[in-house]
Copies of this chain bind each other. A is one copy, B any other.
Amino acid sequence: MDKFLCGVDLGGTKLAAALFTPQGELVAKDMVHDHSDKDGDGQVLAIRDLLTTLFRNNNIVPADVAGVGIALAAHINFKKGMIITTSNFVHTITDFPLVEKLGAFFPGMKIVLDNDANAQAFGEHKFGAGQGCESLVFVTVSTGIGGGIALNGKLHRGRTGTAGEVGHSIIDLDSEIQCTCGNYGCTMALASGLFFPDLYRMHLKRGVESSIGITTETADKMNGPAIKKGWQEGDPVSKAIVEQSAAVVGAELFNIFSMLDPELIILGGGLMALGEEYQNRIRDEFRCHTYKMMVGEMEIKLAETGVDAGLIGAAVLVLE
């Protein structure tokens, strides 16, 4: 009998776990929201309890699952199954052997840990927009920007597991906007939701006028949905931010093409909700950079694994 796949999505606001068939169909899902202030050992216990409940409620034993994949937004040492550092929990977790600790509660079970962008890249490769593709790069444009690279049916993680960090590629050496990584002019700092307030203030300083009454003092509330609303209402600053984001993401897709020449780039993440005009702008910016360098057309598709992308991505890690 084919075994279930089990995925754990360890997010900043929710901790979710799900069972899937080997074909990627969702069987059952459960989640909690009271984990984010726990330390590493606390997270392990929360995951253990969630899995135990999930298994019991579905009348299965650990031997019925092919393994558990865990994905989170963090710096991960894949080979060692360790969290190097987190940034979205109340207490930063560093150098924590999550796989080993969780494994103590499920002897003999295969447990795999990776960052969320890698997991989603592999999820898209197995059950999403990238099925049948030999080489793809998944780019998530959201609060931040991340990515994952799948080559020849495997994730390319690199020497220490940090490959695919396209959000920290420097694309504007002269930029005045500093990223959380410390550098200026990363794609993330110029195009992701986290920086929309900074970008709003920058455009105001440059003399672009807000038509929705936002000042440098109130710019902090200009997150993704607020920028979308402002853009729809004709606010020149919101428009400039959306256009800049599309220009930067499009140029970064060109840089990915220049470096890796993949069959496919898959776009995902919350900012895709800015809509088709934003997505088409990204594609247009990409194409206007390729000139004669493109042989045939490289595909750019939207992610398809949808609302459970994190869970299915985590679950398929055990198939790699």
* CB contact list, A59-113 vs B, under 8 A: 75, 77, 84-85
Measured CB to CB, the closest approach of chain B to A110, in angstroms, equals 23
B168 adjacent to A170 (CB under 8 Å): no
Partner of A251, one of B149, B170, B293, B298: B170
B174 touches A172 (CB 8 A): yes
- A299, chain B: closest CB distance, angstroms: 9
Residues 253-288 of A, flagged 1 when their CB comes within 8 A of B and 0 if not, give 011101111110000000000000000000000000
| Interface CB pairs A-B, < 8 A, 18 | A77-B295, A149-B259, A151-B156, A156-B260, A157-B261, A159-B295, A160-B261, A162-B261, A162-B293, A163-B261, A164-B259, A165-B293, A170-B251, A174-B174, A183-B254, A183-B289, A183-B291, A255-B255
For A147, the closest partner residue in chain B by CB is B259
Q: Which residue of B has the minimal Cβ distance to A161?
A: B261
Q: Is A166 an interface residue (CB 8 A)?
A: yes
Bound-state CA distance A304–B153 (Å) is 33
What CA separation (Å) do A173 and B191 show in the bound complex?
Answer: 13
User: Provided the pairs A135-B158, A172-B174, A247-B173 are in contact, do residues A165 and B84 lie with their beta carbons within 8 angstroms?
Assistant: no
Are B262 and A165 in contact, CB atoms less than 8 angstroms apart? no
CB distance from A86 to the nearest CB of B (A): 13
Residue from the list B181, B183, B254 in contact with A170, Cβ < 8 A: B254
